[in-house]
Each structure stands twice: as C-alpha cells, then as structure tokens.
Amino acid sequence: MLDLVIKNAKVFTPSGYFEGDIGVKEGKIVKIGDIQEQSDKTLNVQGKYVVPGLIDGHTHMEFPFMGEVTADDFYYGTSAAVGGGVTTIVDFVTPSKGQDLLSAYQKWRETADPKVISDYGLHMIIREVNPTIMEQIPEVINRGVMSFKLYMAYKGELMVTDGELFKLVREISSHGGVVGIHAENGEVINELVQEYIMEGKVDPIYHYYSRPDEVEIEAANRVASIASLVKGVTMYQVHTSTGEAVDVMSSYRSKGMNYFNETTPHYLILTLEALKKPDGFKYIMSPPLRSDDQRTKLWQKLSAGDIATVGSDHCVYSVSQKKRHKEEVPSFHEIPNGVPGTETILPLLFYFGVKKGKISMERFVEVTSTNPAKLFGLYPRKGAVVPGADADFAVIDPERKVKISPDVLHSNIDYTIYDGIEVEGWNVKTVRRGEVVMEEGQITAKNGSGVYVPGKSLK
Ligand code: URP
Ligand code: ZN
Ligand code: ZN
C-alpha cells in the first residue's frame, strides 16, 4: 500500500520529460510508471507540469544585517518558499562579529527547526579569520554545512581581505567544501559611496552608480585568480549580475576547474530604471539592478548553460525597515540591501524563460533544482525524480494567468518588487516528502514540519 500516487503526471527532468504516475511511501519516491497499486491518497495532475521541488540555494531568513533583521523569519520565509514550489531552501548561517562558527550554526538550527515549513540546508558565512574559526571549518562541514560564503564587499561589516580570502578558500577546499563568493570590490564601492554622499547625491539610483558593473567584474577576476592557486577548488559566485562576470567563471571552467555562477530573478526581470521610481528604495540590493543590455546577456548565458543556478537572494525588509523607520527615504547607503524573491522564482522563470522561448523546461529544472542539489551536496536525495529520492514536487498549471501582487504571496511584507507583472504559469500545489504542503495558495503544513537536510562534502 502506497501513501500517495501522483497520477497522470507530465514530469520534467534535466534529461527530458515522461508521462506517468509517481508512487510515494514514507516521503520517498518508490515507483515511477503506470501504477495500479492501492494508495491512501491520489492526486490527479492531468494537464499540469510536475517538476522536482525547487531548491532555493540563496535565502536570508532572520538575517541581522545593516542594523535590521530581515522581516521573513523561518516560518514566513519558508511559507513563501513552498508557495512558490520551493521545497528546500539553503539559508546562510551568519555569525555575529566575534562569534565562532559552531555556536552560530547551533543558533541557526534552534531558530529554524521549530518554524520551517520547507526543508532546509545551511551555508556558513565567514566574516573574519582567527584560529578558532579556521579550526572549526571541518566540524562545520561534518554537520552538513559544506558550502560557505565569503564577502568581497560590505567593508567594515562582512568583507574579508584578499589574504583572508585566500586562506579561507584553501582551508574550505581542503575539507571538501564549496566556496561561495559575493564578488564586488568593497574598497572602490566605499570610495564612491563617500564621494556621492559628499556631493549630496543620495537618491536610490546612486546605489547603482556607486556599484558599477566594473566593481563586480574586477572582483570576479580577482577571486578567480586567487582561487586558481588552490588545487581542486569548487567556486560559486552568488547573485551574478553581469555577463562579463559569468564569462570569468566560464573561462576558468574551460580550463578544467570547478567554477560556477548563480544569478537571481531580479537581474533577469528588472533593470536599474526601477531605482529611479518614487519607491526606488524598495529595489536596493547588492549587486544593484543593471542595464537592459546586462539583462539580455544574462538570459543568453542562462540559456547557453553558462549559469549553473537561479537562487532568489530572498532578503526581505518591510517598507518601514527600508526607510529606517523614518518618513523620508534615507540616503541610499543607509537602506538595508535585499529584496524578496523565493516565491516568484518559479512563475518568473517559467513565464519569462520557458514560455517566452528563452530556456527549455529541462534547463528550468536544472537551474532551479538539480544543479543546486548537486552543488550543495543534497543530490540525489533532492533535485531528482528517481526511486529513493525525497518526494518533493511543484505542480505547475502552465495556463494559469496571475497578476503578481502581495495578495498572492506569503512573505511577511506588504509589497513585492514584481507588483503588477502578469505571468502565465503558476505553482498550484507543492508536495514536500510526500505531503501536500501548499494547495491553491493555502499553506497546509505545520510549523516545524520541515527538516534540516545536511549537505555531503565533496570529499
Ligand atoms: O542585497 C543583498 N544581496 N542582500 C543580502 C546580502 C547579500 O549580499 O546577499
Ligand atoms: Zn551577497
Ligand atoms: Zn544574499
């Protein structure tokens, strides 16, 4: 007797699609094909597309940053995730200054475990180097946190020096970890920010002018060069916003190295023009939104296979937080960086990517699920539709027309940066380990029913 049969599914994987049934027992896929066996529950998904549950490899829930803590805690944030067919998030443990890595990991687990609706994995941010931190790296990896994030920007807050970067890349790689990089030149940004402030140029658009394309491209070149000194390294540039930075990683890959990129939906959908709107402050994230030309390049590279993943960088601040609790919009450099996104990866990439003919469904599955699962040590438990894998699925109605607004989303804020955008194709059901956790916008799972999924190291 099965627990669940998903009937008449049109299932997409990176290697094509098949039509049939999927049998689930104890949260795992146990059978694929024409299933006649009895089951407790049957979902007939005729006419819908079934994809492996999305893995959003880039979220910041309850993230303390720039004087605020993000408005989506693990309950709201993972509700938004499952709303958008994301069955696993990979969030960033963020140690406070001076805190060791293992106590920060413990805090993240204690905070997330009672609240999560989706499953979750963890990355570790390292913001400073000291003997305790260096010593703890192998134990952090043992606990399933096999991917890290190092910042080349946010001087005085999260940024590490080139020397620290080199030491960390070497240590993390030697234990089979993956090195995630926020590639922007923090020193140059700092100079430009100070200059604009002195000149009284403080509108949101100056966030863009103080972080031009070149600061990302330079940092991408520098980190690749530094990391190429480390044999066997796996590098991963997060939230890549320029085609040229993608090219840097591709050129190292063509030399046989493991260099990958992530981009985010906001760079694929929006442009810097959003920063000029009266509510431009809502669109401040780093790297900033770019030109239409960069947006076109990113789509081309995504379609060509040069970008490995699309993660959201879900980092949500309320309007009040964005305005630092004042009436007036503050200077661009005081606005906390980050935007919502986990719930809209699926509809935006499906509509603007698949439906508009820019990417195939196979590529959609690869960048939203299979590749992040592989990079973060979760594959084949996650990111695959094979017997033995977790029964995680998003069920897409390919014809459903929806106008995006906060009303159709689950974040703990009352705006979305995609307000008014009309899409065709919407996630109507989310199945997490065989349980329907979202149906037609209603979250049906209990707080804390998601589980921590440890990532396996590359060694
Ligand atoms: O603006 C952003 N991206 N905020 C979150 C922190 C980070 O750099 O990912
Ligand atoms: Zn970042
Ligand atoms: Zn981020």
Q: How many CA atoms lie within 13 A of 160 on its CB side?
A: 22
Ligand 2 mean position, distance from CA 190 (Å): 16
Is 182 near ligand 1, meaning CB less than 6 Å away?
yes
For residue 395, give the amino acid letter: V
- pTM here is 0.98
Is 312 near ligand 1, meaning CB less than 6 Å away?
no
Is 241 near ligand 1, meaning CB less than 6 Å away?
no
Is 337 near ligand 1, meaning CB less than 6 Å away?
yes
> What residues have CB less than 8 Å from 358, skipping those under 6 apart?
299, 302, 303, 352
One-character DSSP codes across 365-418? HIIIIIHHHHHTT-TTTSS--STTSB--EEEEEEEEEEE--GGG--SSSS--TT
Ligand nearest to the CA of 342: 3
Angle at 228 between CA 227 and CA 229, to 5 degrees: 85
Ligand nearest to the CA of 338: 1
- Give the residue, by CA position, lying nearest to ligand 1 atom 7: 286
Is 184 near ligand 1, meaning CB less than 6 Å away?
no
Q: Which residue has 């790689």 as its token pair?
A: 173
- Give the residue, by CA position, lying nearest to ligand 1 atom 5: 338
For residue 153, which atom of ligand 1 is closest to its CA?
8
Distance between CA atoms of residues 294 and 239, nearest Å: 13
Is 315 near ligand 1, meaning CB less than 6 Å away?
yes
Each residue's pLDDT, cut to its tens digit, for the chain (459 residues) gives 999 999 999 999 999 999 999 999 999 999 999 999 999 999 999 999 999 999 999 999 999 999 999 999 999 999 999 999 999 999 999 999 999 999 999 999 999 999 999 999 999 999 999 999 999 999 999 999 999 999 999 999 999 999 999 999 999 999 999 999 999 999 999 999 999 999 999 999 999 999 999 999 999 999 999 999 999 999 999 999 999 999 999 999 999 999 999 999 999 999 999 999 999 999 999 999 999 999 999 999 999 999 999 999 999 999 999 999 999 999 999 999 999 999 999 999 999 999 999 999 999 999 999 999 999 999 999 999 999 999 999 999 999 999 999 999 999 999 999 999 999 999 999 999 999 999 999 999 999 999 999 999 998
Ligand 1 mean position, distance from CA 337 (Å): 6
Ligand 2 mean position, distance from CA 285 (Å): 9
Is 341 near ligand 1, meaning CB less than 6 Å away?
no
Short-list 38, 32, 41, CA closest to 10: 32
The values of phi and psi at residue 443, to 5°, are -80, 125
Is 79 near ligand 1, meaning CB less than 6 Å away?
no
- Give the residue, by CA position, lying nearest to ligand 1 atom 3: 286
CATH number of 53-375: 3.20.20.140
- Give the residue, by CA position, lying nearest to ligand 1 atom 2: 338
CB 383 within 8 A of CB 370: yes
Q: What is the pLDDT of residue 459?
A: 87
Find out whether the peptide bond into 14 is cis, omega within 30 degrees of 0: no
Ligand 1 mean position, distance from CA 189 (Å): 15
ipTM at complex level: 0.98
Is 285 near ligand 1, meaning CB less than 6 Å away?
yes
Distance between CA atoms of residues 118 and 87, nearest Å: 5
Is 314 near ligand 1, meaning CB less than 6 Å away?
no
Q: What is the dihedral of CA 366, 50, 422, 91, to 10 degrees?
A: -50
Ligand 2 mean position, distance from CA 313 (Å): 8
Domain limits, CATH 2.30.40.10, in the chain: 2-51+383-443
Q: Torsion-angle region of residue 36: left (phi > 0), alpha (psi -120 to 50) or beta? A: alpha
Domain limits, CATH 3.20.20.140, in the chain: 53-375
CATH class of 2-51+383-443: mainly beta
Q: Which residue has 């329907």 as its token pair?
A: 436
Bridge pairing between strands 64-65 and 68-69 = antiparallel
Is 397 near ligand 1, meaning CB less than 6 Å away?
no
DSSP 333: G
- Give the Cβ contact number of residue 190 at 10 Å: 17
How many Å separate Cα 172 from the centre of its chain? 21
Distance between CA atoms of residues 420 and 213, nearest Å: 28
Is 436 near ligand 1, meaning CB less than 6 Å away?
no
Distance between CA atoms of residues 238 and 235, nearest Å: 10
Ligand 3 mean position, distance from CA 59 (Å): 6
